[in-house]
């Protein structure tokens, strides 16, 4: 696979995640110009580690095992750690679709917003958007609004537009 093909895949997956080039650049710790050049197949020496990080931030792996990953389940495993009440798939979907925090799940939402790796959130957003046949941007806007409401210290959320 050549860099033009990888760039086209990154662009397609970034768009399906509802992320802008600037947001992807920020969470991948590269410049927006790097993302633009990558998507146009004109990036120079980017390196496998950085390229892999960019790919993971849009929910794909350059080193895939061929197994389908359930990112919703992974996210729930991450956010339910140490809480008496467990957030369910339905709870997570309702939260992301509405931006409303259900009573008793405040801790899981804080964990999702402040501690869950952005690449896992992006993959979960993409999976829920595809499952519900909606645009991922709606989910990102709901998450960013909640992050602002709870005054999240994570600077990522202010880059969601």
Can you spell out the DSSP letters for 60-82?
A: --TT--SPPP-HHHHHHHHHTTT
By C-alpha distance, which of 105, 103, 114, 121 is closest to 154?
Answer: 114
Asked if residue 86 is part of any domain, the answer here is yes
Q: Which residue do the tokens 């998507």 mark?
A: 39
The pLDDT value recorded for residue 57 is 86
- Same-domain check for residues 76 and 138: yes
What DSSP element (H or E) covers 46? none
- Same-domain check for residues 135 and 75: yes
Per-residue pLDDT of 6-19, as tens digits, reads 889 999 999 988 88
- Same-domain check for residues 43 and 16: yes
User: Which CATH number does the domain housing residue 23 bear?
Assistant: 1.10.260.40
Mean pLDDT of 24-29: 89
The pLDDT value recorded for residue 125 is 93
Give the integer Cα–Cα distance in Å for 53 and 40.
Answer: 18
Asked if residue 63 is part of any domain, the answer here is no
Using CA of residue 136, residue 139, residue 145, residue 149, what is the dihedral sign? negative
Token readout for 114 is: 């402040």
Give the integer Cα–Cα distance in Å for 133 and 143.
Answer: 18
Asked if residue 160 is part of any domain, the answer here is no
CB atoms within 10 A of CB 44: 8
- Same-domain check for residues 146 and 79: yes
Give the integer Cα–Cα distance in Å for 142 and 39.
Answer: 27
Asked if residue 62 is part of any domain, the answer here is no
Number of separate domains in the chain: 2
Does position 59 have pLDDT exceeding 90, yes or no?
Answer: no
Least confident of 66-70, 71-75, 85-89, 91-95: 66-70
CB atoms within 10 A of CB 19: 28
Mean pLDDT of 38-67: 80
- Same-domain check for residues 28 and 98: no
Domain enclosing residue 25, as ranges: 3-56
pTM of the model: 0.74
Per-residue pLDDT of 140-156, as tens digits, reads 999 999 999 999 998 88
Asked if residue 61 is part of any domain, the answer here is no
Check: CB of residue 55 under 8 Å from CB of residue 61: yes
């Amino acid at each position: 696979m050549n860099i033009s093909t990888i760039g086209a895949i990154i662009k397609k997956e970034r768009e399906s995640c509802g992320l802008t080039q600037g947001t992807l650049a920020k969470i991948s710790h590269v410049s927006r110009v790097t993302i633009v050049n990558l998507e146009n197949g004109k990036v120079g020496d980017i390196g496998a580690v950085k390229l892999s990080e960019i790919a993971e931030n849009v929910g794909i792996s350059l080193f895939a095992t061929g197994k389908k990953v359930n990112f919703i389940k992974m996210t729930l495993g991450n956010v339910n750690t140490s809480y008496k009440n467990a957030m369910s798939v339905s709870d997570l979907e309702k939260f992301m679709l509405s931006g409303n925090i259900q009573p008793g799940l405040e801790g899981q939402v804080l964990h999702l917003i402040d501690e869950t790796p952005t690449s896992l959130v992006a993959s979960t957003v993409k999976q829920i958007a595809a499952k519900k046949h909606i645009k991922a941007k709606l989910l990102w806007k709901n998450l960013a609004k909640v992050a602002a409401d709870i005054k999240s210290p994570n600077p990522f959320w202010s880059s969601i537009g």
